Structures are given as structure tokens and as C-alpha cells.
Amino acid sequence: MLKSIIRKEILNNLFSYKFSIIIILSTILILVSIFVMYRDYCLALENYGILQPKSNEAIAIVPPTPLSIFAKGLDKNLCRSYEIGFAGQIKVGSKQESVNNLFRLFTTPDLLYIVKVILALCAMLFAFDMVSGEKEVGTLRQSLSNSVKRPILMVGKWIGGFISFVVPFFIAVLLSTILVTMSPLVQMDGENWAKLGMFLLSSVLYLAVFFSLGLLISCLTHQSSSSLVISLFLWAMLVFFIPNLGNIMARQLVEIPTVQQLEVKRSQIWIKEVFERINRGKNVREVVGSINSENDKLIADYRNRFDRLVSVSQNITRFSPAAAFTCLATDLMGTGISEERRLKTAVLQYKNLVWNLEGDLPAFAFHRSSIKEVLGFGGLANLMILILFNMLFFVSAYAAFLQYDVR
Amino acid sequence: MLSAIISRECLSNILNLRFIVGLVLCVIISVACVMILTHDYQQEMADYNLRVNLQDEFLSKYAHRNRIGGMITSQKPPERFRPLIIGIPREANLGSFDDNPLPVLFPPLDFLFIVTIIMSLLAMLFSYDAITGERQRGTLRLVISNSIPRAKILLAKFIGGTASLLIPFILSLLAGALYISINPAIQWDGSAWAEFSLLIAASVTFISLFYLLGLMVSTFSRYSSTSILTCLFLWVLLILVIPNMCPFISAQLYRIPSINKIERQVEHLLDTERDELGRKFSREVLKKFATQYGVIYSEFESLEFGGLWGRCSPENRKATQQRAAADPEFKAMVDAFREQINQAWTKANRIQREKAEKISHDRDTKVAAQNKIAKNLTCISPCANFIYVATDLTGTGLRSFDYFDWLDGEYGKMFWPYLQRKVQDAMKKDPTFETNSFLDISDRPRFVFKEEPLRDKLDAVLPYWGILVLFNVVFFVAAFAGFMRYDVR
């Protein structure tokens, strides 16, 4: 019986207008996005080639990861050059987009964005009328008048509906991934493939959350128009409201100086020490040492506060599956906030190693986190959150459907 | 009759679930946004005051002439519309080691979110079944069977629907405005309230546009279920896809060479290459002086040029000063040498600066071209047009950067002549005053941030606002054409 329900659900979806429009939209978007981000990756790679430091230059720079094609995250920030000055000061190179302010006003349209925002909406649109819609047309009453049990009908609907939604998504991603990885510029090793696999798995989990939520709303309402309204507004709350407002709220809970304030303080340290050298006869080594240690103190204090800000922000935004998914996906792809923190720690260590050396310098080495490290460093918690949301929404939908009045 | 249809449309919308959900959401999100952003604004303001005080305090202790330029940085206060609109998050893009990358992952939430996402979605939810729903229920046939022209019905639906749609929006705005007006930390003057009113007007243009789009789709559909899906498809394209895709597409249509590479080139021109050129010109001066002054030049050379060229011990510096004091001919040569070496370095600086400016200018031209392509492309989406209008009108958008740079330049025109005067006065008072001496500049003109005049802002936003109005007209005409041929059975 379960099989025929699944089959009916898939066939029903395949011939619907909803299916055609959602599939056309998501396929085009995925293909365009991956192509656009691939070209962007090529530009970043070209830039990296130009900026390769010479052996006597104290410059830390990491190559862009091919996984940034799928989830750009903070890769632009990560791939800037960090030049170590003679007094230990770190000069950060500009991002390629820094000159075009338009990039700052809009969001990067990578696969992560498409899954997080657009496909999550599509998942809800697939599920919002699965129960209430069938009730309206009267087929739900007919189905239940047979010997089919409600739990089986529910599970069949979920599996059938979700398969018909997620399979085209997989095909589109697979197709565009094959096209992109055929390029000699995209060098994916085994670890990268595993990370991409994990990313797709977490995307499916994330989409399942919204699918189950749509189903839950459908089971709680009796008209598909009401179900649609509630679905759309919950989507807006979970995808935009909680993650984005939570981030601003965190800033108010953690006392942290602005970057502008730090810049003012940093330039003052420099000028003060030069003044001391000229007017009070401090020697150069002493001055340079003072500048370095004062800057170190400033950075250490800021980084402590920033780490606290990140953890508070993550704790607040975890109420939304979109935030948990963003953190998990970007960390997996090596373009997340944890990677950024790791890189900055590595740059500081490199600075301590080379700032007072001359001649040939050791090259900067940095490896992006492995899957194991990502899962250990908060990734597993985010994955568990997605699973928990899934269970919560599915179990609630199941419970609501058991009591649903089909008349 | 028109008013009867309008009030009927309004009433049926108000009694609908979507109205209640929309109202509750709008009010909750607006109030939460305004409260949190106001607190953020206060923190930013405190940080701004701290920066200004830090700078003042530092200048009172360490203002030695040669480095005053590095200490006079114009500080920008947080925009007065920060409690409503964040615009471009600055923290993430300062090019500093400590950039806060969180806004890149989670773009901030503000009034723009309420209008572009919530209100546009609500507008489409109000209008997608305005025609199809009535046809399915059979009421459209009844209405048409009366002697009311179709144009009037459509107009009444538009007016009634938009009016009912604006109720939650206006209520939430009023709540936000009330919070702003009673908060002592926010001091809005007349011009700020005028900008706020214009912002509301622009928002209404944007919201009505989406209502009309939904209405248009409805007049071309037979069923509400089809209409809503088409509406959402268009909504996703216009709000979520086009504005975000266009900057990236334009970056590939019109490429800018590596910014880092250009920065390094400029740095190399103004640093290493400038020094090489300066030394080359200086050596020419040396050669010229060697032939012109002969023996006394050799003596000057043995004294390491008294510190005027290359390294020099304090003993030789002193000996040169004593020799110049005793021998007028030697003194004339030293003065001429100083003058010529200065000229050599000035020439080297000028040549290299010109080269660097050419590269920078070339880059700026290319950047402007890319920006123009991106901006023109994004204009296909009403969302981008509205964002330009809202952010530029409130001084939180792209233009605010250029305006601040202009203000900073104007301040420079006041400050640098002042500094020159101060240095001249100090040199008159104290002959030993040199580049590393302390200079009291406590009476300097201070940088004061002035809001851009409203007229200038309006001039800049009117084309984008015009596009929004045009979208309204196009959608209304299309809806009208669709409804005229609509089969009401």
C-alpha cells in the first residue's frame, strides 16, 4: 500500500503545474549560479596566481577553494593577501570586489543561497497543500475510506512528495557539477568530493526540514490558502528574520570595539612610538618591538571578544535551521567563520615567526579543515540541529494528521 | 459604485487570515527591528564619540608636524537612519585584519527587509486571487452582470486592495516612528522627517507595484492555484535572483584587472621606483656640483654632505654647520645643494605620482564602467530600484561613500591651509622648529558631518523612483488589457 501511495504522490506531482514551474526555476537557477560562481572562482584563481609572494616577501595568502563555487561564504575574505610589515603590522590586501560597492549591497547567489532561500521556499510550496489541498478536493476522504491507515498515508505522502522534489534538484546539481569539474582549473581531490557530498547531504536534510514544516502546516489547517499564507511567513521568519536579527542582537550582548576604533588605535600606536624614538631617543629595535607587542595586545583582546560574539550569535541564530545550515555548509566547504578564525590565528603565528627576519623567509602554510575537524568544531552540533528540526516537524505533522478532520 | 466596490474589497481583505498574519508579522518585525537597531545605533554613536575623543587627546600630546596628516582622519558618525536602515554594512568591508565577517554570512535585517520581502510577498498574496478567486466563487460573474464597466472594477480592486494592504504597513511604521520620536538618543530634524515621508512614499510605490503584478497575473490565469505559483515564480526572480546575480554577471561581462596587482604597482611606483629615480636625479646634482665647486665640494663630500644626501654622522653634521658659518662661499654651496636636492626629489615625486595617478585613474574608469553595467542590469528588478531609492534617500547607500569623500575633501581644503599657517607662525616664533617638533593645533577647524541636501538626494533617486512608477503603469495597463478580455464564466 505504501508503494502505491508513494507512486501516486510522485505521479500527481509530476503532472502538476507546480512541479513544472518549480523544477524549471530551480534547474535554471542552479545551472546559472554554478556557472557564474565558476567564472568568479576562475577570477579568484587568476588573482591568486598574480599575488604569489617571492621568497623574501612576508606575505600570507591561501588559494581559493574550488568548493567556493558551491558555497562562497567568506572565501573572498580568506583569499586576501596578508602582508607582514617590519614592525609586525599586518596589511590586508583588497578584495577584488572592494572597488565595486554594488557587491556590498546584494547577496552572493551561490548554490548555498539557492538552497537556503529559494529551494527552501520551493519545498514549502510542494508540501503546503498536501493534506489541506486533498481535503478541499475531497480525495483525502476517499483515500481514508479505504483500508489505508493514516500513518502509512502520511509516510507515503512525505516520501513521494519529497522524492519528486529532491530528485530534480540532485540532477541539476549533478549536471552542473560535472560540467564545472571538467574544467582543468577546478582541481577536486578526494577530500573535496567528500565535502561536496556532505554539503549535498546537509542540503537534503535542510530541505526536508522545510518540507516537513510545510506538511505540518498543511495538517494544521483546513484550507490550502491559509496553509500557504502561514507557510510563506514562517519561511520568511526562519530564513531571514531569526538569523539576520540574531546577528545584530549578539553585537549588543557582547561588548566589542568597532573596526574603525581599532584602526584609530593602531595608527596611534605607530605614531606614538615614532615620536618616542625621535624625541626621547628610543632605538629602532625597541620601537619596533613596542609597536609589535602593543598591536598584539590589541588583537588578542579583540579576537577574544570576537570569538565570544561568534558563539553568542550562533547560539541565538540556532533557533533557525537556515542559520545552522549556513554555518554547517560554509564550514564544510572551508569558507565559513571557523575557517576564517583558523586562518587569522595562522596568520598571527606566521607574523610572530617572520616579522623580524630578513632574507629568504619560510613560506606561509595553511590547510583548510578536514571533514573530521569541521564536525568536531561545531559542525556535528549543526547537523544534529537539522536532524532535530526534521524530527520535530515530522512528528508534529504525524500527530496532527492522526487527529485531522478529513470532512 | 466605485466606493462600494472599494469598501467591499477592503473589508473582504481585512477579514481574511492573510491580513491578520501580515499585520501581526509587520508590527512584530518592525518594532523588533527598530528597537534592536536603535540600540545598535546608540552603541555606534558611543563608539564614534570615543574615536573622536581618542583622536583629540592624541593630537594634544603627539601632534608633531610631519605626522599630523596621519592623525587627522575624518570620522563618520553613524547615519541618522541607522535605527531603520543599515544599508551597506561597513564593518565587513574596511580592508582591515579585524573585519567582522558575520554580516557577509547573515546580511543585517532592517526596514528594507520589511518592504522588499514581507510587504511585497503580502502584496502578491492579497492580489493573486483578486480575479481568479472571484471567478471560481462565481461572484465575478454577478458583479459583471451589473452595469459597472470592467475598468472601474479593476481600479476599485486596485485601490481597495492596496489600501487594505497598506494598513499593516502604516501601523507598523507608526509604531517604529513613535519609538524613534520618543527615544532621546535619536534627534531627527525636519529634513530627516521629510526623508522619512519620502521613504514611505517610495515604499508605497514599491508595494503597489507588487499588488499590480499579482493582479496582472490573476487576470491572465483561470485558477488561483496557478496564479499564486506564477506570482511566486516572478517574485523569486525579481526579488531574490536578479538583484543578486547582476553584479556578478557584470563583473564577468566587464573585467577589471587584479585590484591587488594595481595596488602593488602603485605602491612600487611611489616607494621603490620613486627612491631610485630620486637617487638618480640626486647623483646628477652631485656630478654637477663636483664640476662647479671642485675643491670645496670634495671637502663637503668628505663631511658626508652634512646629512643633506645619504647617511651622516652627528660629528660631520656639526662640522658642516660650523664650516658653513665660517665660510660664506661654502654656505652658498650648501644652500644651493639643499635646494637642488630638494628639487630633484620633488621632481621624482611628481613624475612617479603622475604615473601612479594614471594607473589609478585607469582603474577608476574601469570600475565606474563595471558599476554602471551592474547598476543598469539590476534596474530590471524593482527590488534593486527600491533599494537604491531607499538607501540613497536616507544617506545609507552607495552615494553616501562618495558624499563622505567629498566632505572629507572639503574639510582638507580648510585644514591644510590652516596647518600651513600654523607651521609658518611656529617657524617665525622658533627658528629651531623642524619636521619633528610639536605643533599646538588645538584651535584647528574640526570635521563636522553635514547631511547631504535633500534636493541633491532627490535628484539622484528620481530616475530609479521613475522606473518604479513605470513598472506600476506597465503592470496596471497589462492587468487592464488582461481583464478586458477575461472570460468570467
pLDDT of residue A396: 93
pTM of the model: 0.85
Asked if the model's pLDDT at residue B48 lies above 60, the reply is yes
Most confident of B127-141, B389-403, B423-437: B389-403
C-alpha distance from B464 to closest chain A C-alpha (Å): 15
**Residue where one domain finishes, among candidates B349, B373, B397:** B373
Residues B77 and B189 in one domain: yes
Chain B residues with CB under 8 Å of A259 CB are 90-91, 94, 96, 98-100
pLDDT of residue B103: 82
* Residue of A15, A258, A291 for testing the chain B interface, max B β-carbons within 10 Å: A258
Look at B109 and A245 and tell me if their CB atoms are within 8 Å. yes
**Residue where one domain finishes, among candidates B325, B353, B373:** B373
Q: Which of B205, B202, B222, B223 is nearest to B213 (CA)?
A: B205
Mean pLDDT of chain B: 86
pLDDT of residue B431: 65
Contacts of residue B282, Cβ cutoff 8 Å, sequence gap at least 6? B309, B341, B344, B345
Helix pair A150-181, A17-51: axis angle to 10 deg? 40
Look at B88 and A101 and tell me if their CB atoms are within 8 Å. yes
Chain A residues with CB under 8 Å of B387 CB are 105
**Residue where one domain finishes, among candidates B326, B347, B373:** B373
Which amino acid, residue B193?
Answer: W
Map residue A84 onto helix, strand or coil.
strand
| A240 → closest Cβ in B113, B233, B375 | B113
Distance CA B404, CA B452 (A): 9
Look at A107 and B107 and tell me if their CB atoms are within 8 Å. yes
Residues B127 and B29 in one domain: yes
C-alpha distance from A90 to closest chain B C-alpha (Å): 7
Chain A residues with CB under 8 Å of B252 CB are 36, 39-40, 43
Residues B114 and B15 in one domain: yes
* Residue of A260, A328, A347 for testing the chain B interface, max B β-carbons within 10 Å: A260
Arithmetic mean of pLDDT, B400-423: 89
| A47 → closest Cβ in B32, B248, B258 | B258
Look at A258 and B44 and tell me if their CB atoms are within 8 Å. yes
Chain A residues with CB under 8 Å of B88 CB are 101, 104-105
CB B381 within 8 A of CB B234: no
Map residue A82 onto helix, strand or coil.
strand
Profile chain A (407 residues) by mean pLDDT over runs of 10 residues.
Answer: 82 84 86 89 86 83 92 89 84 72 80 92 88 80 77 87 88 88 87 92 94 92 86 90 85 85 83 72 76 86 90 87 93 92 91 80 87 88 93 92 80
Asked if the model's pLDDT at residue B67 lies above 90, the reply is no
Share of chain B above pLDDT 90, in %: 23
Quick one: closest CA in A to B397, which residue? A105
Alpha helices (H) along B294-381: 295-302, 314-326, 328-378
Residues B63 and B123 in one domain: yes
Q: Is residue B489 part of a domain?
A: no
Arithmetic mean of pLDDT, B320-332: 83
Q: How confident is the model at residue B307 (pLDDT cuts 50, 70, 90)?
A: confident
Chain B residues with CB under 8 Å of A35 CB are none
Instruction: Using alpha carbons only, give the angle B284, B286, B290 rounded to the nearest 5 degrees.
Output: 120
Residues B248 and B266 in one domain: no
CB contacts < 8 A (A, B): 266
Map residue B187 onto helix, strand or coil.
coil
Q: What stretch of H or E contains A90?
A: strand A90-92
Arithmetic mean of pLDDT, B378-383: 91
Quick one: closest CA in B to A300, which residue? B98
C-alpha cell at B410: 572639503
C-alpha distance from A112 to closest chain B C-alpha (Å): 11
CB A129 within 8 A of CB A179: no
Look at B125 and A96 and tell me if their CB atoms are within 8 Å. no
Residues B275 and B346 in one domain: yes
Look at A109 and B117 and tell me if their CB atoms are within 8 Å. no
Residues B336 and B476 in one domain: no
A304 burial level (CB within 10 Å; 0-12, 13-18, 19+): exposed
Chain A residues with CB under 8 Å of B374 CB are 100, 102
C-alpha distance from A147 to closest chain B C-alpha (Å): 30
Q: Is residue B101 part of a domain?
A: no
Q: Is residue B79 part of a domain?
A: yes
Asked if the model's pLDDT at residue B168 lies above 80, the reply is yes
* Residue of B248, B386, B403 for testing the chain A interface, max A β-carbons within 10 Å: B248
pLDDT of residue B314: 74
C-alpha distance from B110 to closest chain A C-alpha (Å): 8
Q: Is residue B99 part of a domain?
A: no
Chain B residues with CB under 8 Å of A265 CB are 54
Burial A310-349 (b: 16+ CB within 10 A, else e): bebbbebbbebbbbbbbbbbbbbbbbbbbbbbbbbebbbe
Task: Read off the pLDDT of residues B425-484 as tens digits, 9 standing for 90 and up.
Answer: 887 777 666 666 778 888 888 898 998 999 999 999 999 999 999 999 999 999 999 888
Look at A272 and B232 and tell me if their CB atoms are within 8 Å. no
**Weakest mean pLDDT among A200-204, A328-332, B335-339, B372-376:** B335-339
Chain B residues with CB under 8 Å of A342 CB are none
Residues B124 and B244 in one domain: yes
Look at A77 and B109 and tell me if their CB atoms are within 8 Å. no
Q: Is residue B397 part of a domain?
A: yes
Look at B97 and A299 and tell me if their CB atoms are within 8 Å. yes
C-alpha distance from A349 to closest chain B C-alpha (Å): 14
Q: How confident is the model at residue B216 (pLDDT cuts 50, 70, 90)?
A: very high
Arithmetic mean of pLDDT, B227-241: 90
C-alpha distance from A179 to closest chain B C-alpha (Å): 19
Q: What stretch of H or E contains A59?
A: strand A59-60
Look at B62 and A271 and tell me if their CB atoms are within 8 Å. yes
Chain A residues with CB under 8 Å of B90 CB are 259-260
Chain A residues with CB under 8 Å of B246 CB are 106
Quick one: closest CA in A to B255, which residue? A43
Q: Is residue B311 part of a domain?
A: yes
Chain A residues with CB under 8 Å of B375 CB are 102
Share of chain B above pLDDT 70, in %: 97
Residues B212 and B77 in one domain: yes
Q: Is residue B359 part of a domain?
A: yes
pLDDT of residue A324: 93
The ipTM, to two decimals, is 0.83
Domain span including residue B345: 260-373
Task: Read off the pLDDT of residues B260-292 as tens digits, 9 standing for 90 and up.
Answer: 778 888 888 888 899 899 999 999 988 898 888
Q: How many domains does chain B have?
A: 2
Return the residue matching grid coordinates 498574519.
B21
| B40 → closest Cβ in A251, A275, A306 | A251
pLDDT of residue A87: 78
Distance CA B34, CA B178 (A): 10
Question: Bridge partners of A60?
Answer: A82
Look at B259 and A98 and tell me if their CB atoms are within 8 Å. yes
Q: Which of A370, A403, A324 is nearest to A154 (CA)?
A: A403
Q: Is residue B330 part of a domain?
A: yes
